[in-house]
């Protein structure tokens, strides 16, 4: 089973479109978990009705804690951590799980998306599955497929030390790499992503937060950020990892 987890902080029109795409285009067994970070009462009532499971907060708990708490009530073998301003295409679940199952050394499988960091930015789907070189161009946390057994026990979940706004996805990706796992991008699945909906509408000073969090991230990951090729040589050895480079899925 897949536990699909998203956050809500008003902007119900985006969350509704997300939920509709999940309900219409998911074919494998799943549960939908929505964590509400202090929306208006009407939105919170809608969340409770729309989700299979929900957590309702009266105040914004932030990106990291919101997802971490959602994972704690999840029951699926796999977790899909998705932004609420996304829409998922048909067959997304079978394709991404196929990639994860064929690559036991993958800590994260990301689809491609229409808004986000360039490593997974696309405007049409493709046929490649790409492995990202460690500590380089990590994908945005638009939609991360992971194993529930690894998210908190192995990687520690999203780091809650960062102030609300940014830095958590970079930190998780670097942690995954440091632990010896791979990050794969599956071009076969294209996610429609609006981008920065919550940050721009609810966090008026999000750009200032971004600068602060960016400095915090670079201090923590100084060696890996500035010397990625050297850092890659000192990763934890993971017997699950296939160290061959980019490949296409078998037909």
Please, what CATH class does the domain formed by 2-233 belong to?
alpha beta
What's the pTM value of the predicted model, to 2 decimals?
Answer: 0.90
Compute the distance between CA of residue 121 and CA of residue 249 in angstroms, rounded to an integer: 20
Residue 201 pLDDT greater than 70, yes or no: no
pLDDT digits (tens, 9 = 90+) for 168-192: 999 999 999 999 999 999 999 999 9
> What average pLDDT does the structure give for the chain?
91
What are 102's two structure tokens? Answer: 């064929």
Give me the pLDDT at residue 165, please: 63
Nearest 5°: phi and psi at 224?
A: -65, -35
Closest-CA residue to 93 (of 111, 106, 72): 111
Res. 87: pLDDT tops 50 = yes
pLDDT value for 7: 97
- Per the structure block, which two tokens stand in for 155? 């990687």
Per-residue pLDDT tens for 146-169? 999 999 999 999 999 987 767 899
Question: What is the tens place of the pLDDT at every residue in 29-61?
Answer: 999 999 999 999 999 999 999 999 999 999 999
More reliable by pLDDT, 247 or 54 = 54
Distance separating alpha carbons of residues 72 and 55, to the nearest angstrom? 11
pLDDT at residue 166, as a whole number? 75
Q: What is the pLDDT of residues 120-155, one digit of tens each?
A: 999 999 999 999 999 999 999 999 999 999 999 999
Domain residue limits, the chain: 2-233
- Give CA–CA dist 143/123, Å, rounded: 16
How confident is the model at residue 207, as a pLDDT?
Answer: 73
């Amino acid at each position: 089973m897949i536990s699909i987890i998203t956050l809500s902080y008003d902007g119900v029109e985006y969350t509704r479109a997300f939920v509709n795409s999940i309900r219409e285009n998911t074919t494998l067994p799943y549960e939908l978990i929505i964590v509400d970070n202090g929306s208006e009462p009407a939105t919170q009532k809608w969340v409770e009705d729309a989700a299979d499971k929900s957590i309702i907060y009266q105040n914004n708990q932030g990106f990291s804690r919101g997802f971490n708490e959602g994972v704690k009530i999840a029951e699926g073998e796999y977790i899909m951590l998705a932004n609420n301003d996304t829409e998922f295409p048909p067959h997304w679940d079978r394709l991404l799980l196929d990639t994860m199952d064929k690559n036991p050394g993958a800590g994260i499988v990301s689809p491609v998306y229409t808004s986000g960091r360039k490593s997974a930015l696309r405007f049409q789907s493709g046929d490649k599955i790409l492995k990202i070189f460690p500590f380089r161009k990590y994908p945005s946390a638009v939609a991360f497929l992971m194993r529930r057994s690894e998210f908190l026990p192995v990687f520690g979940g999203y780091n809650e030390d960062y102030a609300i706004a940014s830095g958590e996805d970079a930190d998780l990706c670097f942690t995954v790499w440091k632990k010896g796992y791979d990050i794969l991008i599956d071009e076969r699945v294209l996610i429609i992503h609006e981008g920065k909906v919550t940050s721009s509408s609810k966090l008026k000073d999000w750009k200032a937060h971004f600068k602060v969090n960016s400095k915090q991230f670079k201090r923590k990951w100084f060696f890996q950020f500035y010397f990625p090729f050297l850092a890659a040589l000192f990763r934890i050895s993971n017997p699950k990892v296939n160290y061959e480079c980019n490949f296409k899925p078998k037909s």
